[in-house]
């Protein structure tokens, strides 16, 4: 067993918990590799430190929130390394384990009492292939209070042409993130679908659309002189120009998560209350 260790290094509580987990795993005689930025923060020997994109492990323990999970996944993809997420954030839909239960869950994991869940990712092209998205891709303007003029095609059929503040293309994993806040539906991760959600559209008939994840989605900018930014999982930005197309399709590579329970709907209820929606 070889375990990779990642943490949100600008959150002291996450770094402290990561340090305790490293000590715990060392006592269990588990081989550990540490993300370089975390190793520097902990003043750990650099012989076990690696860049996240070079990490090779049987599982990666990520201490932080969903942002930490998304950042980690963006670097380790397309390797089939399961993520063991420990939540130190506000909501944490992608992380199953709370910090107070971390060591109990690690004991269960080391005993083999877990399963691995697959999550669909979104493949993205613009001139060339961009990083895949686990949650969503958001198209928005660089300038506040400006709208984009967008054409949306699904499988070569025009679905909508509209003006809006932006557009979200989300996976089921991302349906409980920005997509939900913009009025999109909550979608069970087992459903084979993608969600197209206009952000504040200037058109009464423009509504969120759920499409099959075998579809190809094309989005084109129709207004000359207006540029957009495509933000992938909050981690990567790409500038989109007039008449450019950005293309979305199901990725052949999935994300993998260590799970102990099948509790999606309970998590939705609990997390939305914690998020202030009650």
- 158 CB-side CA count, 13 A: 6
- Cβ(230)–Cβ(137) below 8 Å: yes
Q: CA–CA separation, 120 vs 108, rounded Å?
A: 26
Question: Coil, strand, or helix at residue 191?
Answer: coil
Instruction: Give the Cβ contact number of residue 148 at 10 Å.
Output: 23
- Cβ(136)–Cβ(75) below 8 Å: no
- From 212, 266, 221, select the one nearest 245 (Cα to Cα): 221
Instruction: Give the Cβ contact number of residue 7 at 10 Å.
Output: 29
Radius of gyration of the chain (CA): 20
Question: Which pair of structure tokens corresponds to residue 188?
Answer: 């069970």
- Cβ(172)–Cβ(268) below 8 Å: no
Of residues 66, 156, 165, 244, which has the active-site annotation? 66
Known active-site residue 244: no
The residues that are catalytic are 66
């Amino acid at each position: 067993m070889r375990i990779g260790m990642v943490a949100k290094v600008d959150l002291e509580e996450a770094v402290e918990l990561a340090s305790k987990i490293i000590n715990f795993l060392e006592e269990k005689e588990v081989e550990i590799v540490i993300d370089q930025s975390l190793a520097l923060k902990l003043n750990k020997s650099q012989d076990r430190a690696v860049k996240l994109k070079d990490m090779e492990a049987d599982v990666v323990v990520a201490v932080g929130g969903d942002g930490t999970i998304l950042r980690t996944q963006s670097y380790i993809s397309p390797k089939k390394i399961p993520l063991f997420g420990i939540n130190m954030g506000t909501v944490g839909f992608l992380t199953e384990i709370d910090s107070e239960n971390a060591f109990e869950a690690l004991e269960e994991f080391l005993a083999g009492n877990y399963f691995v869940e697959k999550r669909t990712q979104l493949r993205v092209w613009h001139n060339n292939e961009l990083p895949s998205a686990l949650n969503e891709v958001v198209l928005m303007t660089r300038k506040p209070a400006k709208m984009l003029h967008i054409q949306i095609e699904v499988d070569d059929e025009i679905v909508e042409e509209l003006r809006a503040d932006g557009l979200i293309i989300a996976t089921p994993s991302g349906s409980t993130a920005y997509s939900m806040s913009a009025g999109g539906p909550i979608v069970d991760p087992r459903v084979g679908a993608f969600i197209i959600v206009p952000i504040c559209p200037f058109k009464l008939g423009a509504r969120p659309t759920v499409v099959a994840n075998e579809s190809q989605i094309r989005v084109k900018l129709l207004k000359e002189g207006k540029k957009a930014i495509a933000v992938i999982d909050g981690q990567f930005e790409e500038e989109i120009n007039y008449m450019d197309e950005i293309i979305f399709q199901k990725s052949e590579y999935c994300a993998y998560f260590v799970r102990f329970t099948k509790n999606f709907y309970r998590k939705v209820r609990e997390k939305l209350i914690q998020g202030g929606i009650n």
